[in-house]
């Protein structure tokens, strides 16, 4: 496993997220997560393995944040009609002046 590839893919995941290309970002996050998992399996040094697992956990948290952003954006795209109350349904606000009455012209 090439560590430079892991670093490059993590960098791309972050850059895509910053640029608003969340779909590509999530793909890179998933890929780098799997790469780190495979890399951890090949490590013999327990201390080094723990450090890589911490990195993997931090990237997983970043991935969850990107997923949350995507979920928020998707909620704006819902087909729910927006309800706007009519003037009869709106309560009168004493701080707002009523519309002017038309002037009589003779």
Decide if 49 is inside a domain: yes
CATH of the domain at 66: 1.20.58.80
What is the rounded distance in angstroms from the CA atom of residue 7 to the CA atom of residue 52? 12
Q: Which two tokens stand for residue 99?
A: 């519309």
Q: Which two tokens stand for residue 37?
A: 């998992």
Decide if 104 is inside a domain: no
Q: What pLDDT, on the 0 to 100 scale, is given for residue 86?
A: 67
pLDDT along the chain (106 residues), means of 10: 91 97 97 96 94 96 96 82 64 70 79
Q: What pLDDT, on the 0 to 100 scale, is given for residue 95?
A: 72
Decide if 87 is inside a domain: no
Q: What pLDDT, on the 0 to 100 scale, is given for residue 75?
A: 84
The structure's pTM equals 0.70
Decide if 68 is inside a domain: yes
Q: What pLDDT, on the 0 to 100 scale, is given for residue 84?
A: 66
Decide if 28 is inside a domain: yes
What is the rounded distance in angstroms from the CA atom of residue 25 to the CA atom of residue 96? 48
Q: What pLDDT, on the 0 to 100 scale, is given for residue 63?
A: 97
Decide if 35 is inside a domain: yes
**Inter-residue contact 29 to 35 (CB < 8 Å):** no
Work out how many domains the chain is built from and give that number: 1
Decide if 82 is inside a domain: no
């Amino acid at each position: 496993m090439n560590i430079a590839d892991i670093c490059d893919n993590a960098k791309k995941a972050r850059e895509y997220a910053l640029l608003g290309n969340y779909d590509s970002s999530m793909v890179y996050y998933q890929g780098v997560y799997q790469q780190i998992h495979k890399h951890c399996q090949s490590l013999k040094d327990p201390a080094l393995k723990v450090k890589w697992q911490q990195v993997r956990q931090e990237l997983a948290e970043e991935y969850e944040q990107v997923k949350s952003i995507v979920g928020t954006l998707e909620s704006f795209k819902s087909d729910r009609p927006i309800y706007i109350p009519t003037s009869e349904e709106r309560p009168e606000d004493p701080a707002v002046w009523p519309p002017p009455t038309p002037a009589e012209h003779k």
